[in-house]
Amino acid sequence: MADITNGGPAFPYGTRRYDGGNHYVGTEYAQGMSLRDWFAGQALAGLMAHPKCGMVGPGFEDRNNCAAREAYALADALLAERSKAGGE
């Protein structure tokens, strides 16, 4: 699913700028994290809450890599569904 976009910013924010006094001169905007990263983080929290995913033992690193891949796969699926429904 390499053609999935990041979905735009999840938490954009702006900082009001002044000229050194009380005169407003504009707002500087920052993008914050991508919506894809937000979705993946939420999916990862759910995946790791599963009893078998949270266990420590042999193969733990492989299990983490698998969970990370699965989280982004779920995020990509969420973005694809969102775009079908008319989202960005």
Q: Which 8-state DSSP code applies to residue 8?
A: S
pLDDT at 36: 92
Query: What is the chain's alpha carbon radius of gyration, rounded to the nearest angstrom?
Result: 19
Q: In this predicted model, what pLDDT tens digit does every residue of 36-78 receive, in sequence order?
A: 999 999 998 888 887 666 555 565 667 777 888 889 999 999 9
Domains of the chain, residue spans: 34-88
Q: Which two structure tokens, joined as six digits, stand for 24? A: 């407003």
Read off the pTM. 0.64
Of 66, 71, 40, the closest CA to residue 55 belongs to: 66
Can you tell me the distance from the alpha carbon of 59 to that of 48, in angstroms, rounded to the nearest whole number? 15
